[in-house]
Structure 1
Amino acid sequence: MSNVAQALLQFAGVQPSLFASNSRYQATPTATYTTGGGLQVAYLLRRFVPQPAQLAEVAQYTVTQGDRLDICAARYLGDPTLFWRLCDANGVLRPWQATATVGTVLRICLPQGIAGVQNAG
């Protein structure tokens, strides 16, 4: 990114990210560590996984034989790389565990920080 573009973004209050907009780390802040020799090393701060109950559920999906989380993400979220949102919504740390058992009901939720409509039924 050019210095002019960075200046415009900072003037507008937008912080550039090292991660794509669909990355689970996009909103995770970074910090800088300075070594004894004066070398500055940027690093990613810890991403805290949200509690599933804090996410607004918009749908449910029952796992069938041969399901894959990336395909479910493409179907329900419009992007297969958002599989991590399904993991967050269902308290799963390893993606393959979410679809390992036929009959498991997956929660499809809004992203963290976006409130849903209560009792919209």
Structure 2
Amino acid sequence: MAGLGAGPLPGGLGQVPGGWGQVPGGPGSALGGVGAIPGAIVPSSRFPVTSRYATTPIAGFVDAAGVTHPYLRRRLVPPPEQFAAIGEHTVTQSDRLDRLAATYLGDPEQYWLLCDANRATTPDTLTAAPGRRLRITLPAGVPGPAPYA
């Protein structure tokens, strides 16, 4: 961690090598509060666009020694009612969430979309009880298919 905070920048901010950037902050902002500093130096997001964390802001906490520790802000999930439903699935004993995501969404790593659509914070609970009906939805902000005339 020796590189963190090395070499001062204008305004007394530390300089961090390797693609780090500034996140606005200060009292009353998303970064305001204990340990948060204006202009905290934190890494830019390196999550793929398909990651549930792709749009989650990164903040920085500065400890007593002046070392900045980046962390992800809380990821807020929109209400499932805002997702466009494209179907339902009745859970069977052999179901796995990654397989369901591959079947319905085309990518097993998108299982988290099924969690969001069904208000699950623990993925395994979705397939634990055979007979449970799962909502299959599109991601937030993606409109569903037009209704048939």
Range class of TM-score, shorter chain? 0.7 to 0.9
The reply to whether residue 109 of structure 1 matches residue 137 of structure 2 is yes
Per-residue Cα deviation, 1:5-38 (whole angstroms, up to 9, x for no partner) = x9xxxxxxxxx52222322111101112222332
1:120 positional shift: 4.7
Seen in structure 2, the aligned counterparts of structure 1 residues 120 and 108 have a Cα distance that, compared at 3 Å, is: farther
1:112 positional shift: 1.4
The unaligned stretches of length 5 or more in structure 2 are 1-17, 22-43
The reply to whether residue 40 of structure 1 matches residue 40 of structure 2 is no
For residues 124 and 55 of structure 2, the distance between their equivalents in structure 1, rounded to whole angstroms, comes to 24
Give secondary structure in 2 for the equivalent of 1:107. strand
Q: Which has the higher contact order (CA 8 A, sep 6+)?
A: 1
- Aligned residue number for residue 79 of structure 1: 107
The unaligned stretches of length 5 or more in structure 1 are 7-15
- Aligned residue number for residue 90 of structure 2: 62
Structure 1 vs Structure 2: percent identity of aligned residues? 46
1:49 positional shift: 2.0
Q: Which amino acid aligns with 1:47?
A: R
Q: Which structure: greater helix fraction? A: 1
- Aligned residue number for residue 94 of structure 1: 122
Under a length normalisation based on structure 1, what TM-score does the superposition of the two structures give? Answer: 0.77
What do you get for the CA RMSD once the two structures are aligned? 2.2
Larger Rg: 2
**Across the two proteins, how many residue pairs are aligned to each other?**
109
Give secondary structure in 2 for the equivalent of 1:32. strand
